Structures are given as structure tokens and as C-alpha cells.
Amino acid sequence: MYNSKIIGLGKYVPNNIVTNHDLSKIMDTNDEWITERTGIKERRWVKPESKETTFTMGHEAAKVAIQRSGLDKNEIDFIIFATLSPDYFFPGPGVQIQEALGIKTVGALDVRNQCSGFIYAISVADQFIKTGMYKNILVIGSELQSKGIDKSTRGRSISVIFGDGAGAAVLTREEDNSKGVLSTHLHSEGKHALELASEAPGMGGRWITDIIEDNNPNDLSYFPYMNGQFVFKNAVVRFSEVIMEGLMKNNLKKEAIDMLIPHQANLRIAQFIQKKFGLNDDQVFNNIQKYGNTTAASIPIALCEAWEEGKIKDGDTVVLAAFGSGFTWGSAIIKW
């Protein structure tokens, strides 16, 4: 059995920077309030007049990842695209990537696991490669969330958190089983599904035709809802559990972690996990301060940025971990 190894990373974020001060002009909030609760100072939002989409941002990140991998695009034999904000209700963006890259008719899979989406996508790619079904897989996490959030005071608890952007990774077959993705670990707990959710369209049988017919300007079902304190309390528990699960699977101690890259949901969550595992600042990478929560894109953006800054080196033990809507959570243990 093979292992899978990441050989190319890329990221893309819109040029438009939105600071906490900018938000204070359109809603009742301020920099101190946002920073204290989330750690976020600014985020990237696609400009309303821009033609950028979830797909186009993913495409830009993918092109960089493929170029850095040293592969020809036609050596990619499968595509996995993780997002909660696809361009279309259907089809998903995986096929858009296949077409835009001009890759032959390879399979394209869309993953809808929100904040855990990239971990789930990496796990799927890893299993396909481990079994020998595919050799080179392109994995993308991309989100355009700024156009789907309530930017008024009513929606500030959500809108100050989320940002736009994309990250991508190319995985290939690694015959040395001591290197690459050592293991992945996935979990869910659906009883808490509506604690972090966007209900429309769908809503148990109420579809877009019903919503249009109602024409209710106060219908909040399209906007994301989050029970923040409940999500936070569950996140810190599940992060810890799934990281320990991965370490134990590979007979590793906490001290073996060279770099932890958590999903960028809230800086306080990351700091709690850092303290619990006794890690110093050089062992944890956070960039939520600059980009906010980019959901499925947050881990690949952070992973790419950490690698670009030389904070991940050959032989390092890298741990990826995420928790989010569903609830779903997961981890990946990687020997770089």
C-alpha cells in the first residue's frame, strides 16, 4: 500500500481588504469588540462588482499548486473540490475546474463538509492514492462567503467572522510509507446540525419556489446562523480529541508536533488548543487575523502560507485539524 504526499501548494485571496474599522461604518461594531472575540483584524471580501467566484478563486489556487508540483496538468487523474459556497446550486465546481484546466475527462468530486471540508477531501484523496486507484489528485478548498452574509448590525455576529479565498494542494503517490499522509480521522455528530447552519433553500421541504412566493423581506433562512458559545465549547473538545486520536494512531507524543495548522475559526480556539498541547508560537500557524474564517479554504491557505514562509520543512510532523458545521471534525497527520 502506498502513502500520499503533498507536492504542490497554492493559494488565492481577493485583493480587497476589509478591516474591522471598515465594518464599523456599516454596522454597530468596533475593532476592539471583533478582535477580543475572534482575533480577526481584517478579511478579504470579493468586491460586489468583481467577476470573482468560488470557482475562479479555486482555479487560481489550483494553477499555482500544479505549477509548484512539477506535474503537467494532464497528469492529474482526479479532482476534489471542497466548498459550502459553489457557483451553482448544481453542478458543483469540480467539473468547472476540470474544464478550465483543460484536463481530460477525469473524475471530479465535490465535498460539502464546510469547515472540515478540506480535511475530508484530503482523506478521500489519501484513500484513493493508498489503494492505487489514482496517482495524482488535485484538492481544492474555496469559498466566496461575503455575498451571502447579512452585513447589517442584525447579522454582525456572523458577518465579521467570514472571508473569501481559496487554497489548493496536489497529492501524489509516495512509496516510502514513513512519509506523506500517515493517517486521517473523521467524525460527525448530526444532532447539533442546526447550531451552525444555513437552512435555505431546502428547509425540510420548503424550497426556493416557496421562498420566492412568500417574498418575505425579513426571511433570514438564507443567512448563516451560529450558536457561537455552543460551537466554541464543542470545538475545543473535539479539536483536542481528534488531534490526540491521530497522534496515538501513529505512536506519537505531543512533543512530536512540529507544526499544527488548525482550521481558522477563532483565534481563541487555536490558543486554547496550543496551551493544552504545550506548543510554542513557532509550532502553531494562525492567519485568521488577516483572512478571517474562510471555511473550507482556511487550512489550505494557512498550509500554503506556512510552507511559503519556510515554517514547514522536510521531515516535519505536520498536524491539520478542523471542526465545523454538521457538526463534523477531523485531523490529518503528515510527515512532510
Q: Tell me: the pLDDT tens digits for 4-15?
A: 999 999 999 999
Q: Which one-letter DSSP state was computed for residue 83?
A: -
The residue count of the chain comes to 336
Question: What values do phi and psi take at 131, rounded to 5?
Answer: -85, -5
CATH topology agreement for domains 3-177 and 181-214+216-335: yes
pLDDT digits (tens, 9 = 90+) for 150-168: 999 999 999 999 999 999 9
CATH number of the domain located at residue range(s) 3-177 in this protein: 3.40.47.10
C-alpha cell at 77: 487523474
C-alpha cell at 327: 457538526
Q: Give the residue from 170, 144, 152 showing the smallest Cα distance to 55.
A: 144
Domain spans of the chain?
3-177, 181-214+216-335
181-214+216-335 belongs to CATH 3.30.565.10: no
Q: What is the pLDDT of residue 213?
A: 79
As annotated, the active-site residues are 115, 263, 293
Q: What is the pLDDT of residue 220?
A: 76
**With 70 as the cut, is the pLDDT of residue 64 above it?**
yes
pLDDT digits (tens, 9 = 90+) for 179-197: 999 999 999 999 998 998 8
Mean pLDDT of the chain: 95
Query: What is the DSSP code string of 284-306?
Result: B---HHHH-B-GGGHHHHHHHHH
**With 80 as the cut, is the pLDDT of residue 117 above it?**
yes
Residue 239 CA, distance from chain mean position: 15
Listed range (142-146, 218-222, 255-259) with the worst mean pLDDT: 218-222
Q: What is the pTM of this model?
A: 0.95
- 3-state secondary structure (DSSP) of residue 279: coil
d(C-alpha 121, C-alpha 108), whole Å: 12
Residue linked to cell 515554517: 311
